[in-house]
Amino acid sequence: MAFKKPVSSLVLIYTEDFKVLLMERADKKGFWQSVTGSLEENETPRDAAIREVFEETGIDSTQYHLEDWALSHVYEIYAHWRYRYAPDITHNTEHIFALKVPTSIHIQLSADEHVQYLWVNWRDAMDKVFSWTNVEAIKKLAEIHQLKL
């Protein structure tokens, strides 16, 4: 197995009325998140965002406006997922994107990655996601659209 690159993209998918798509991880019950995924060889963060959105949700993000927020976070990789990375890797850099879709559209989950999905009000989504970087992405959504936190 090849090790994952410690660089990833997170895509916050949201609707015009600011519902956020959350998916429950298949490998960690109760862990809700936005679309995320590591960059593959010779892939840009934007390329990874487009690929991961399609793989995890079935959405063709080229049909909508994929926003690069020019924002990234460095976080410590959870111990239970470190085996996926080279032995000396402890941190990941995550690039943040957003994808606005018109309404709560149907999602085709990748069964090996997620078991269910929900469209959740953006405020409630902040309480449901497990990752602080995901919370920060939702806060950025609120900031950009001048929503009251």
Give per-residue pLDDT as tens, 76-112: 999 999 999 999 999 999 999 999 999 888 999 999 9
> Which residues are part of a known binding site for Mg(2+)?
52, 56, 113
Its sign, for the CA torsion 44, 137, 115, 65, is negative
Indicate the annotated binding residues.
4, 25, 36, 52, 56, 113, 131
Entry field: residues in the chain: 149
Contact 15, 119 (CB under 8 A): yes
Of 79, 83, 90, 107, which Cα lies nearest the Cα of 11?
107
Per the annotation, binding residues for substrate are: 4, 25, 36, 131
The pLDDT, as a whole number, for residue 102 is 92
Q: Could you give the domains of the chain?
A: 7-144 (3.90.79.10)
Q: Is the pLDDT of residue 144 over 90?
A: yes
